[in-house]
A and B are shown apart, each in its own frame.
Chain A
Amino acid sequence: MAEQAVDFLLKVDDLKTHFPIRKGFLRRVVGAVKAVDGVSFTIRKKETLGVVGESGCGKTTLGKTIMRGEEPIGGEILYNNDGTIVDLLGLSGDKLREMRKHIQMVFQDPFTSLNPRMTVRDVIGEPLLINKMSKGKALDSIVSQLMQDVGLDAKYLRRYPHAFSGGQRQRIGIARALALNPNLVLADEPTSALDVSVQSQILNLMRRLQDKYDLSYMFISHNLSVVEHISDKMAVMYVGSFVECGDTQTLFSQPKHPYTEALLSAVPQSDPEVERERVILSGDVADAGHLPTGCSFHPRCRYAQDRCKSERPELKARGDDPEYLTACHYSEELDLQGIGGYKR
């Protein structure tokens, strides 16, 4: 392992998080909801990985599993701690707590993720207190600095969250995530609860902080335009697995998976003059408790063939670029339309 040149910050390999389905008097396990089912990816330093998918595709569970908020049933989560590779799944107790400093999370709803009975100082300073990294006056000054970093006036230190607007609360949430000086921030739908004018402020803030602190982001969202804006590379998730993963611009302009094509064509365009052909997906997202055989997308796929019904496609590089991964048997043969379905 030591010989190998390591250029990743986080490497997730074949991660699986299943939830048991219990039935009957004895609550016997009769099946499993495969919320995350064999996901692999890497995030480099200062890189942003965007994860998109419809509700129920497992993107939030994926984030939680990386934080060890859910226990996976298999796979590896490797974290590069300045050259030492640590398997996060092998840790517990103090060692896990130590590693958690490096990975922090920003939540979706700033109205429920902040304790209403704690002042801003306590909310932002709590991680430092818990980790015994600071206290008293020194803590005050760190918190003030963090507040300035995220564009809040430090004189509001003693206020409670209710006195802040949604955008300001999200800034508080970000300040708290940054308190421990993490390398990686998992942001789960950080702008979904915000108005458009505030959303742009938060996205700009995240960019600025990334430059300042060399952060890596894993940005989970269902909003494709937002993910396109912020991510260097992105992954499209469909019922528990990635179907396509690679450079953001390539993915948007030349998608290689039919699900990505459909997802892109569904994004409304804020230009009334654009004429386009829309791929309307029939049916609903597959049930993660009863996955279809073969490719999980085949019942809704307009290019599906017999092979797709029986053989599950693996996520791997199928073209020239070794970093561009797809999970479709026919990704090299299909000619799919990109960016919002523009006819070109």
Chain B
Amino acid sequence: MAKLLEIKDLRTYFHVDEGTVKAVDGVSISIDRQQTVGIVGESGCGKTITAQSILQIMPHPGRIEGGQILYYPDPDGEPVDLAALSPRGRKLRAMRGNEIAFIFQEPMSALSPIHTIGNQIMEALMIHNDGMSQSEARQKALAMLESVGMPNPEQRIDEYTFQLSGGMRQRAMIAMSLACSPKLLIADEPTTAIDVTLQAQILELLKRLKDEQGMSVLIITHDLAVVAEMADEVVVMYLGKVVERGSVKDVYKNPSHPYTRALLDSIPRVGQERRKFLTAIKGTVPDPYSIPKGCEFQPRCEHAMEGLCEVRKPEYAEISPGHIARCFLYTHNESEVG
């Protein structure tokens, strides 16, 4: 299928007093049209910064230091390099919310408390569509609220966020992001702060809207099960790097990087044989100023090979077509292990 977005060797660094945080360090991801890609990882792995880099909305002082973010507005047309655009320029502004939209974890902090939700949706519509009238925008906003399953949209459109329940706020935010029919929807932990029953509703909603609007979705989460449900492709990140990437089927059936394997083993799973103890990963994610030498995961890895993993950076190895893992287990020669 035709590509929509191609992130190539992206580097987003934060230069702070304590040193340089390489939040995103050489990440490559590609998203096809109408595809759902999931990025998973623990806190601090750079998944959110990767997503924010696409629209250059990462917090200060984060900067894209290298790499390309190629966006293909037309299947056959020339791509635009979003990484080369100015974060405050008109070109990128025209893109935000219009071609590429973002939904956030916390609807309460993403929506304005002093505007009605109708006005917020209409604002997005009128900014991106020159000459759209107030009443047209209202009609469209109403239709959006209806399509996201907002109960009683005629009444709710004139209400403020504090009058809505958590689920309704989430729906209002999704309606706002989708108002301009974006080609790519980036959902950053869209269901992390909510209950399972509501999570199920929101995930079903996202799936339905994705099919209806024919858009692509990039979903960022720490929940492996959410990715398994939603995504076609999964990208596992650890300390700013992609450690494994492939189709959801391949990665979940044959997790190849020790980190992916450990993550899958460490979550309790409903309906599987009960284990008294979970397989835990030892240690914790190191702090970003003291990234381990060699392979980043090596101090916590069960399979670390002395004289190799703590010395050199591993390369990507192809496990099967389209399924890659960044680990020496698949690339080293016996002679290298010292």
Choose among A167, A195, A268 the residue that contacts B199 (Cβ–Cβ < 8 A): A268
The answer to whether B42 and A195 touch across the interface, beta carbons within 8 angstroms, is yes
Whole-angstrom distance between the alpha carbons of A281 and B196 in the complex?
11
Choose among B201, B229, B262, B280 the residue that contacts A269 (Cβ–Cβ < 8 A): B229
A213, CB-defined interface residue at 8 Å: no
B200: which A residues are within 8 A, CB to CB?
265-266, 268, 278, 280-281
Among A124-132, A200-208, A318-326, the stretch in contact with B: A200-208
B203: which A residues are within 8 A, CB to CB?
268
The answer to whether B270 and A200 touch across the interface, beta carbons within 8 angstroms, is no
Among B14-22, B52-60, B71-79, B218-226, the stretch in contact with A: B218-226
B280: which A residues are within 8 A, CB to CB?
197, 200-201, 204
The answer to whether B278 and A204 touch across the interface, beta carbons within 8 angstroms, is yes
Which residue, of A249, A267, A268, has the highest number of chain B Cβ atoms within 10 A?
A: A268
Tell me the B270-295 residues at the A interface (CB within 8 Å). Answer: 270-271, 274-282, 284-285
The answer to whether B271 and A252 touch across the interface, beta carbons within 8 angstroms, is yes
Choose among A199, A262, A273 the residue that contacts B266 (Cβ–Cβ < 8 A): A199
A198, CB-defined interface residue at 8 Å: yes
Whole-angstrom distance between the alpha carbons of A197 and B165 in the complex?
32
With A264-B270, A268-B223 given, is the CB distance from A165 to B284 under 8 Å?
yes
A342, CB-defined interface residue at 8 Å: yes
Contact flags A220-248 to B (C-beta < 8 A → 1, else 0): 00101110111000000000000000000
The answer to whether A278 and B222 touch across the interface, beta carbons within 8 angstroms, is no
The answer to whether A284 and B201 touch across the interface, beta carbons within 8 angstroms, is no
Interface of A is mostly: helix
Contact flags B225-268 to A (C-beta < 8 A → 1, else 0): 11011000000000000000000110011000000001110111
B166: which A residues are within 8 A, CB to CB?
55
Shortest C-beta distance, A291 to chain B (Å), equals: 17
With A200-B279, A207-B276, A268-B225 given, is the CB distance from A228 to B270 under 8 Å?
yes
Shortest C-beta distance, B230 to chain A (Å), equals: 8
B204, CB-defined interface residue at 8 Å: yes
Whole-angstrom distance between the alpha carbons of A266 and B268 in the complex?
16
Whole-angstrom distance between the alpha carbons of A281 and B195 in the complex?
12
* Nearest B-chain residue to A264, judged by Cβ: B270
The answer to whether B228 and A271 touch across the interface, beta carbons within 8 angstroms, is yes
With A196-B263, A266-B199, A340-B270 given, is the CB distance from A229 to B222 under 8 Å?
no
Shortest C-beta distance, A199 to chain B (Å), equals: 7
Whole-angstrom distance between the alpha carbons of A342 and B225 in the complex?
15
Shortest C-beta distance, A208 to chain B (Å), equals: 8
A272, CB-defined interface residue at 8 Å: yes
Tell me the A34-80 residues at the B interface (CB within 8 Å). Answer: 54-55
Which residue, of A197, A207, A263, has the highest number of chain B Cβ atoms within 10 A?
A: A197
Interface size on A, residues (CB 8 A): 46
Shortest C-beta distance, A275 to chain B (Å), equals: 11
Whole-angstrom distance between the alpha carbons of A267 and B199 in the complex?
9
B167, CB-defined interface residue at 8 Å: yes
Whole-angstrom distance between the alpha carbons of A199 and B248 in the complex?
23
B198: which A residues are within 8 A, CB to CB?
54
With A55-B195, A195-B285, A222-B195 given, is the CB distance from A272 to B228 under 8 Å?
yes
Choose among B197, B279, B282 the residue that contacts A281 (Cβ–Cβ < 8 A): B197
Choose among B253, B262, B270 the residue that contacts A252 (Cβ–Cβ < 8 A): B270
A270, CB-defined interface residue at 8 Å: yes
**Contact count band on B:** 35 or more
With A224-B196, A264-B270, A270-B267 given, is the CB distance from A200 to B249 under 8 Å?
no
A271: which B residues are within 8 A, CB to CB?
228, 252, 269
The answer to whether B204 and A278 touch across the interface, beta carbons within 8 angstroms, is yes
The answer to whether B165 and A284 touch across the interface, beta carbons within 8 angstroms, is yes
Shortest C-beta distance, B195 to chain A (Å), equals: 4
The answer to whether B278 and A203 touch across the interface, beta carbons within 8 angstroms, is yes
Tell me the A182-223 residues at the B interface (CB within 8 Å). Answer: 195-201, 203-204, 207-208, 222
A225: which B residues are within 8 A, CB to CB?
225, 267-270
Shortest C-beta distance, A133 to chain B (Å), equals: 32
The answer to whether B284 and A204 touch across the interface, beta carbons within 8 angstroms, is no
B163: which A residues are within 8 A, CB to CB?
none
Choose among B165, B228, B274 the residue that contacts A270 (Cβ–Cβ < 8 A): B228
With A165-B284, A167-B284, A266-B196 given, is the CB distance from A226 to B222 under 8 Å?
no
The answer to whether B42 and A196 touch across the interface, beta carbons within 8 angstroms, is yes
With A201-B280, A278-B204 given, is the CB distance from A267 to B266 under 8 Å?
no
The answer to whether B167 and A284 touch across the interface, beta carbons within 8 angstroms, is yes
Shortest C-beta distance, A48 to chain B (Å), equals: 12
A339, CB-defined interface residue at 8 Å: yes
Shortest C-beta distance, B134 to chain A (Å), equals: 31
* Nearest B-chain residue to A166, judged by Cβ: B284
B229: which A residues are within 8 A, CB to CB?
268-269, 272
B279: which A residues are within 8 A, CB to CB?
200
Whole-angstrom distance between the alpha carbons of A338 and B262 in the complex?
27
The answer to whether B228 and A269 touch across the interface, beta carbons within 8 angstroms, is yes
Whole-angstrom distance between the alpha carbons of A224 and B203 in the complex?
17
The answer to whether B266 and A196 touch across the interface, beta carbons within 8 angstroms, is yes
The answer to whether B284 and A198 touch across the interface, beta carbons within 8 angstroms, is yes
* Nearest A-chain residue to B232, judged by Cβ: A272
The answer to whether B264 and A207 touch across the interface, beta carbons within 8 angstroms, is no
Whole-angstrom distance between the alpha carbons of A249 and B248 in the complex?
29
Which residue, of B226, B280, B285, has the highest number of chain A Cβ atoms within 10 A?
A: B280
Contact flags B190-216 to A (C-beta < 8 A → 1, else 0): 000001111111011000000000000
A/B interface sample: 26 pairs, CB < 8 A? A54-B197, A165-B284, A168-B284, A195-B42, A196-B222, A196-B266, A197-B280, A200-B281, A201-B281, A203-B268, A207-B277, A263-B197, A266-B197, A266-B200, A267-B270, A269-B229, A269-B269, A270-B228, A270-B252, A270-B264, A272-B228, A272-B248, A278-B200, A280-B204, A283-B151, A340-B270
The 9 closest A-B pairs by CB, nearest first: A229-B268, A266-B200, A268-B225, A200-B266, A339-B271, A200-B278, A197-B281, A270-B225, A195-B42
A residues whose Cβ falls under 8 Å from a Cβ of B: 54-55, 165-168, 195-201, 203-204, 207-208, 222, 224-226, 228-230, 249, 252, 262-273, 278, 280-281, 283-284, 339-340, 342
Additional 4 contacts, C-beta under 8 A, given A195-B285, A203-B268: A54-B195, A196-B266, A201-B282, A280-B201
